[in-house]
Amino acid sequence: MELRSEHGCFGGRQYFYSHASQSTGTQMNFSVFVPPQAASQKVPALYYLAGLTCTEETFMIKAGAQRLAAELGLLLVSCDTSPRGLDLPGDADSWDFGVGAGFYLNATQPPWSGHYRMADYVNEELPALIEANFPASAERRGIFGHSMGGHGALVTALRNPERWHSLSAFAPIANPVAVPWGQKAFSNYLGNDEGAWAEWDASLLMAKQAFPSEVLVDQGEADAFLERELHPEALEHAAEKSGQSLRLRRHAGYDHGYYFIQSFIEDHLRHHAGILFA
């Protein structure tokens, strides 16, 4: 690991690192906020997956999460949204596919399959790295995210409920097989077999098996992507099928950005803390 910068923050430390990732075969960047409580004990870690075009910095700069994480004693982790620097054909042609748009899955189609393995990175490699190098408990992990990262958090936890204990999302791409962002990404990364797509769709996964703890989802009603790309109602239907405990809240006047996220970040941290410290 290479330390790129560190900063005092609310009595804890904010770190930015890069490392050579086995999952992606590239250097990957990640960020960690270590709360003051971690000076004397291991603490639960809460992983945040960012949306299209974002980086490992976005959440730490814009979400306003460190204040309450320092109070509750949560270690926060975020990472980049794709491998970078590969220069694969077409990887920089659009903002919603390729660089900055890894969709937190394991690609099966060339040229993506060798590097676009963000699911392995988030589910296995990054937690192992964090738990080996920071005072993060390996027993209690939470995960959440925004938009493409909300999809990523839901899918990561629903596919691996033995590894993740708490789960929430802001404005997730809830049913990617049914919307343009998801169809573009899945057809390129996974090919045209829609059976393969179903393994990476939060609503299809949730309909089959409920996550063990309550799932919190916040959605702004003034979100410009709501009708075309997000489809939170698909999660509600899935939760009915599997008996998932789902708290989906719709908020009038809030859009898709970080002014929305920061307005409700406290509720998400308290949701995770309530489960991770139980």
Catalytically active residues are 147, 223, 256
67 touching a copy of itself, by CB under 8 A: yes
C-alpha to C-alpha distance for 147 and 127, rounded to whole angstroms:
21
CA distance 169 to 156: 12
Residue 106: helix, strand or coil by DSSP?
strand
Q: Which CB sits closer to a copy of itself, 159 or 251?
A: 251
Q: Decide if residue 250 touches a copy of itself (CB under 8 A).
A: no
Alpha carbon distance 85, 208 (integer Å): 37
**What does the block give as tokens for 119?**
């699911």
Residue 161: how many other CB atoms lie within 10 Å: 15
**Least distance in angstroms from the C-beta of 100 to a copy of itself:** 19
Q: 37 φ, ψ to 5°?
A: -60, -25
Q: Within 176-235, which residues bind a copy of itself (CB under 8 A)?
A: 220, 222
Report the distance separating Cα 191 and Cα 47, nearest Å: 28
**How many positions of this chain bind a copy of itself (CB under 8 A)?**
26
Choice between 14 and 81, CB closer to a copy of itself: 14
Q: How far apart are CA 157 and CA 262, in angstroms?
A: 23
Q: Count of CB atoms within 10 A of residue 105's CB? A: 27
Of 37-45, 83-91, 175-183, 251-259, the window that binds a copy of itself (rule: CB under 8 A) is 251-259
Q: Does 3 bind a copy of itself (CB under 8 A)?
A: no
Among 167, 185, 258, 271, binds a copy of itself (CB under 8 A): 258
Closest CA to 228 of 173, 187, 186: 173
Region from 64-72, 93-101, 151-159, 239-247 binding a copy of itself, contact rule CB under 8 A:
64-72
Q: Does 263 bind a copy of itself (CB under 8 A)?
A: yes
Report the residue from 24, 55, 66, 82 that binds a copy of itself according to the rule CB under 8 A.
66
- Contacts with a copy of itself, residue ranges (CB under 8 A): 7-11, 13-14, 61-62, 64, 66-67, 220, 222, 251-255, 257-260, 262-263, 266
